Structure 1
Amino acid sequence: MAHKKSKPTILKFDSEEDVAVALAKYTADLSEKYIRDKGSFSVVLSGGTLIDTLRKMVEPPYKDSVDWSKWLIFWVDERVVPLDSDDSNYKLACDGFLLKVPIPSGNIYAINDKLSPDGAANDYEARLKHLVESKIIPISDASGFPKFDLMLLGMGPDGHVASLFPTHQQRYEKKRWVTFITDSPKPPPPRITFTFPVINSSSEIAMVVTGADLANTVKIALGGGLEPGSTPLPCMEVSPEGGLTWFLDKDAASKL
């Protein structure tokens, strides 16, 4: 069942530092709301520069005021490498964020790094299904896919989000919750990734985009810069059931 596409909120800031400040307040406010309403807060992280932009969360006042014990952490995509590899999104998140706040280790859902890409995707999907069956993660009434509270996404200059790339078929997957890719155009090539039905079942999505190298892509995604007849960028397919908020610094928004 298709949901009605909601209009995104586009926030523009003078600097990446201002984006980081605003993102922390936004995330902390949602944390308070969801913990009050349902007793937990499920957060889906991505890689790239996002973890650095979350840095204000591990500083006062948020470090001490957020109820970290109720957070559940997932990854929208992950490189199929050892968890202690510098290529791992898990390691990136641990070093920059997760080890600095008291989220219980049992609430952090990393991939099984001992499996093949296909096996790791199947395993991650099976674990999500178990959390749904256990009533820890709800199912979207509209889509039938798991409904996370907050998904924090970045995008690449080619418009990819998660590991859903413009010319790869995984972006069109409609049945699986988690799929895999063995030929990512960005190294390392083997990855697992949430599919768009899962991404778009989220209650809230923050698209966090900073830097002049992304200005053209932002223009295409938000400013109608797509050439007639060309394939929409993956980032243009992000359309959650709830709210979509773009956090842009001045450089990323410079061509809007």
Structure 2
Amino acid sequence: MSKIVVNNESEVTERLTSEISKCAKRAIDERDAFRIGLSGGSVLNFLCKAIPKIQTDLSKWKFFFCDERYVDETHPESTYGVYKTKLVPETNLKLQQFVPINISLPLNECAADYERKVRDEFGISNSEIPEFDLLLLGMGPDGHTCSLFPNHALLQEKSLLIAPIADSPKPPPKRVTMTLPLINNAKCCIFAMCGASKAEMVKRVFVDKEDLPAGKISPKNGELILILDSEAGKYL
């Protein structure tokens, strides 16, 4: 795990821009495609600043969602909806480059459908696990990441790569989420965080090694990178 502590949010964005750029260049050079998983919250704010600065062929990027709320894209809780309205207009990205969930399906079928979509995009069989080039992750005040919450049964999920959750302790309760086997098969996972409100949980997860969901992120063949401002990283 690489722990990068910089002075402020602006420098977090700069470093995140650099790391995304490296991942994108490597993926496009190797396979002519860059597959990236997105989270909501502050990740969007970072990306809106970062992506316009990256020297890359954006047409070769494909966007997936590390988790998504089971709501219509016009709903304020829709992660895809927020990216569609706030990121896409600021770039040359096309909506076809995003792979959203299909909420016209029942929740369980929606999750299974999204897993099929992911497999199809990677062109792999049901026995293989996709290897994302980069997953941009967030961490909640309870130590959750994606829609994997403390003490939830989904932390033990081994067979599903994309799972439904109908009892999220954080509203809205219905969601679909990547599970640990898929997350930990990524080539790179990045947590980018700012502010004193993150400091205590950063310490609990990454220093004290408490048994919390964000602490279970450990790419088996890739790298885990923390990019923090001085306030979020003050206990590292």
TM-score w.r.t. length of structure 2: 0.93
Q: Tell me the amino acid that sits aligned with residue 98 of structure 2.
A: I
Q: Is the 1:206–1:247 contact (alpha carbons within 8 Å) kept by the matching residues of 2?
A: yes
- 1:131 and 2:115 equivalent? no
How much has 1:58 moved relative to structure 2?
4.0
Percent pairwise identity: 34
Written as runs of structure 1 = structure 2, the 5 A alignment for 1:219-238 is 219-224=203-208, 226=210, 232-238=211-217
Match of 1:10 in 2: 3
Match of 1:69 in 2: 59
Question: In the alignment, which of 27, 30, 43 is matched to residue 37 of structure 1?
Answer: 30
Structure 2, unpaired ranges of 5+: none
- 1:19 and 2:3 equivalent? no
Question: In the alignment, which of 95, 99, 108 is matched to residue 109 of structure 1?
Answer: 99
How much has 1:167 moved relative to structure 2?
2.0
Structure 1, unpaired ranges of 5+: 1-7, 227-231
Instruction: Output one character per residue of 1:191-241: Cα deviation in whole Å (capped at 9) or x when no partner.
Output: 000000000000011111222122111101221263xxxxx0001110012
Question: In the alignment, which of 160, 170, 184 is matched to residue 144 of structure 2?
Answer: 160
Written as runs of structure 1 = structure 2, the 5 A alignment for 1:176-187 is 176-187=160-171
CA–CA distance in structure 2, aligned partners of residues 105 and 113 of structure 1: 17
Instruction: Output one character per residue of 1:135-158: Cα deviation in whole Å (capped at 9) or x when no partner.
Output: 6xx99xxx9311100000010111
TM-score w.r.t. length of structure 1: 0.86
How much has 1:104 moved relative to structure 2?
3.4
Matched residue of 2:64: which SS?
strand
Q: Tell me the amino acid that sits aligned with residue 234 of structure 1.
A: P
Q: Runs ≥4 in structure 1, deviation > 4 angstroms? A: none
Q: How many residues align?
A: 235
Instruction: Output one character per residue of 1:13-57: Cα deviation in whole Å (capped at 9) or x when no partner.
Output: 111121011111211222112101110000100011111012222
Q: Tell me the amino acid that sits aligned with residue 232 of structure 2.
A: A
CA–CA distance in structure 2, aligned partners of residues 41 and 255 of structure 1: 34
Question: In the alignment, which of 215, 218, 225 is matched to residue 239 of structure 1?
Answer: 218
Q: Tell me the amino acid that sits aligned with residue 214 of structure 2.
A: C
Instruction: Output one character per residue of 1:39-90: Cα deviation in whole Å (capped at 9) or x when no partner.
Output: 000010001111101222243x42xx32001001000000000011110010
Matched residue of 2:5: which SS?
strand
- 1:49 and 2:28 equivalent? no
- 1:28 and 2:26 equivalent? no
Question: In the alignment, which of 194, 198, 202 is matched to residue 186 of structure 2?
Answer: 202
CA RMSD of aligned residues (A): 1.8
